[in-house]
Amino acid sequence: VRDGGGIRHDPLPLLPLLGQATSHLGLIATVATTFYPPFLAARLFSTLDHLTKGRVGINLVTATLHQAAQNYGYPQQFEHDLRYEMADEWTRLVTELWDSWEPGAYVADEKSGVLVDHTKIHTIDFEGQFYSSRGPLNVIPGPQRKPVICQAGGSPAGRAFAAKHSEIIIATATSPDAMKEYREDIRQRMIGYGRDPDDAKILFLVSPTVGDTDASARERLDTALAAQAADMDAKLAGMSYVTGKDLSKFDLDEPFDPGQVNGHRSSAEEYTKAKKTLRELVSSNSVSTGVDLVGTPETVADTMEELMDHIGGDGFLIILPVTRRHIAEITDGLAPVLRKRGLIRSEYTGATFRENLLAF
């Protein structure tokens, strides 16, 4: 293994460290609802909300592979849509725990010596099909009371879950029209769940390639894609992870169709819809965004602006190789151009992650 594919340190202890080193950024870590005991997650994220002074978020996923499930003592991974039913119940339970302290329950009155008003703290007595918990949470609510909830559902079950619970939705779509459709679908679903659609930000995954000239940026991307195509094994391993199928057993030059998968179902469907061979898929941009963000900061900013006008809002999530060069190209190249146009903000007005998220 050359790229350390399976090495994934636990991101949660990193959050307070990042909180110490920054003052405004929202800090999100991923938790797999399928395996994480809900009470522990609720307590942990309340504590992290204190430690980051109200800047924590939780990204809810359901995990992918049978091998992952086996680490937690299950013979195999649960079926894709069932995982979302479990995730829904999990999220309702942790939300009840975060609400088990009413506002004003924490009194801390030195004169009377009263720390908490017990009449404002309640058991939840949650009895679900998959999870149960007595409650209340044994932690004082943090500045946000609950973390910002993030999710990346693409399948119908995933979209329903995201629309019901999420405040940030990470979306992948293969064309500007597909992005618009995705956003409108999620907003409609949110209304169906009695939510204000403006209470969630839908962020489309993009991977810009920024350069001094349009031609040099294009050349860099072409070189990177050629290197990726040459390293077929690494790309196949990545796609095998996403689909949950061993793609080394598939013909590279046949149109690729993995059938229904138990992994990231919507991503697998995008591969099939592309009607490409596995070899062609492997040599195309690994972030299958269907949008071309390649060129000078001005060129990329033009396209981002046009795209956002077409989609209707809310923003992008930039995914890049994590190198100082790539980060500097965004922060010192692209960001100033976007800021000059008023497309990104120049200051934070709120104190908490949620306030800042919803302010722009």
Q: d(Cα 15, Cα 22) in Å, to the nearest integer? A: 10
Q: d(Cα 291, Cα 14) in Å, to the nearest integer? A: 32
Which among 17-25, 150-158, 232-240, 295-303 is the span making contact with ligand FMN, rule CB under 6 A? Answer: 150-158
Binding of residue 61 to ligand FMN (CB under 6 A): yes
Nearer to ligand FMN, 20 or 188 (CB): 188
Nearer to ligand FMN, 36 or 250 (CB): 36
Binding of residue 207 to ligand FMN (CB under 6 A): no
Nearer to ligand FMN, 205 or 224 (CB): 205
Binding of residue 136 to ligand FMN (CB under 6 A): no
Least distance between ligand FMN and beta carbon 18 (Å):
18
Count of residues of this chain found to bind ligand FMN when the rule CB under 6 A is applied = 18
Q: d(Cα 278, Cα 239) in Å, to the nearest integer? A: 10
CA atoms within 13 A on the CB side of 77: 21
Least distance between ligand FMN and beta carbon 155 (Å):
3
Q: Left if phi > 0, otherwise alpha if psi is -120 to 50, otherwise beta: which for 313?
A: left
Nearer to ligand FMN, 165 or 265 (CB): 265
Which residues, 251 to 280, sit near ligand FMN by CB under 6 A?
264-267
Q: d(Cα 16, Cα 49) in Å, to the nearest integer? A: 9
Residues β-bridged to residue 51: none
Nearer to ligand FMN, 158 or 176 (CB): 158
Residue with tokens 């919507």: 266
Least distance between ligand FMN and beta carbon 347 (Å):
28
Cα–Cα distance list, 52 to 18, 36, 56, 145, 196 (Å): 8, 21, 6, 13, 27
* The only residue of 33, 46, 52, 64 in contact with ligand FMN, by rule CB under 6 A: 64
Binding of residue 155 to ligand FMN (CB under 6 A): yes
Q: d(Cα 232, Cα 28) in Å, to the nearest integer? A: 31
SS3 207: coil
The CB density around residue 275, as the number of other CB atoms within 10 Å, is 10
Binding of residue 165 to ligand FMN (CB under 6 A): no
* The only residue of 62, 77, 296, 352 in contact with ligand FMN, by rule CB under 6 A: 62
Nearer to ligand FMN, 59 or 299 (CB): 59
Q: How would you label 34-70 residue by residue, b for 16+ Cβ within 10 Å and e otherwise?
A: bebebbebbbbbbebbbbbebbbbbbbbbbbbeebbe
Nearer to ligand FMN, 105 or 187 (CB): 187
Per-residue mark of binding to ligand FMN, 94-133 (x: CB under 6 A) = ----------------------------------------
Q: Are strands 126-127 and 132-133 parallel, antiparallel or unpaired?
A: antiparallel
Binding of residue 172 to ligand FMN (CB under 6 A): yes
Nearer to ligand FMN, 52 or 62 (CB): 62
Residues near ligand FMN (CB under 6 A) are: 30, 32, 61-64, 152-155, 158, 170, 172, 205, 264-267
